[in-house]
Amino acid sequence: MIYCIGDSFTFGEELPDTNSAWPILLGNLLDRPVVNLGKPATGNYRMVKRTMDSVLSGDAELVVIGWTDPARQEFADDIGITDLWAGREHRRMQSCNDHRINLIKYMTAYDVPGYYYTKWLRQIILVQSFCKANQVRCIMFNACSSEDWHKLYLDKNAQLAKHIDSTDFVGWPYSGSGIWTHGMPKGPNGHFLEEGHVAVANKIFNHIQNESTDTRV
């Protein structure tokens, strides 16, 4: 089983049919069953949890993660578990209670992007180590604007970043689906459409075909 984990770009947001999303296309190319665990408005910590769940399910032969913006942080309150995007949550305030509004205002006012980036690097290292320990291959890529974060903070985190295994991090560090789909049609909210999903699926498939020594996939 292939588990694909990510945000709205993995889910297939704005596609007329989410069966055209890159996880499904990748499964077709590999002739393997796929579970698309992409979810709109999700953060990287949820992806860590879903990766662990997928690996521990016992039937995972491959996990593919499309990491989102590191600033998306998970919180839990009386509303439930949700991800808030620091600096960009003003759009949702009208539908929130007072507690959530105060949380959004605090995150926006005290946004610390360098901290979020370092936290994300640690998540990458931990996920890679977990998957290797359980003998499940894990392929990763930047799905949402992370290239810009690298330009700002990678050098400052060089000692930490050297522990990241770039072998199966497609495009590490400065390339990702934003670059792979540049100039292709996008929906009103900025999500790449069918052509972009084909490009992402082909990019990951070609990486598997060209780089893999793992005969399971």
For residues 205 and 135, membership in a common domain is answered with: yes
Domain boundary among 86, 110, 134: 110
For residues 46 and 81, membership in a common domain is answered with: no
d(CA 27, CA 36): 10
Q: Which residue has the higher pLDDT, 183 or 84?
A: 183
Task: Tell me the pTM.
Answer: 0.90
- Where are any strands of DSSP class E within 86-160? 137-142
Provide the 10 A C-beta neighbour count for residue 51: 26
Closest CA to 200 of 185, 169, 178: 178
Q: Which two tokens stand for residue 192?
A: 């790449």
Q: Into how many domains does the chain fold?
A: 2
Helix H or strand E encompassing 16: none
Q: In terms of residue numbers, what domain contains 138?
A: 2-71+114-211
Provide the 10 A C-beta neighbour count for residue 87: 14
Average pLDDT of the residues in 144-160: 89
Average pLDDT of the residues in 132-161: 92
What is the structure's pLDDT at 134?
98
Provide the 10 A C-beta neighbour count for residue 3: 24
17-46 exposure pattern, b = at least 16 Cβ within 10 A, e = fewer: eeeebbbbbbbebbeeebbbbbbbbbbbbb
For residues 56 and 81, membership in a common domain is answered with: no
What is the structure's pLDDT at 183?
97
Contact between 117 and 149 under an 8 Å Cβ cutoff? The reply is yes
Domain boundary among 110, 131, 166: 110
Residues above pLDDT 70, as percent of the chain: 88
For residues 84 and 63, membership in a common domain is answered with: no
For residues 63 and 159, membership in a common domain is answered with: yes
For residues 9 and 55, membership in a common domain is answered with: yes
For residues 25 and 7, membership in a common domain is answered with: yes
Domain boundary among 110, 136, 157: 110
Residue 56 CB partners (closer than 8 Å, separation 6+): 134
Average pLDDT of the residues in 133-162: 92
For residues 126 and 41, membership in a common domain is answered with: yes
Q: Which residue reads 């990510």 in tokens? A: 6
What is the overall mean pLDDT for the chain?
89
Q: Which two tokens stand for residue 206?
A: 């070609």
Interval 110-133: pLDDT, tens: 767 799 999 999 999 999 999 999
What is the structure's pLDDT at 107?
72
Average pLDDT of the residues in 75-98: 67
Helix H or strand E encompassing 69: none
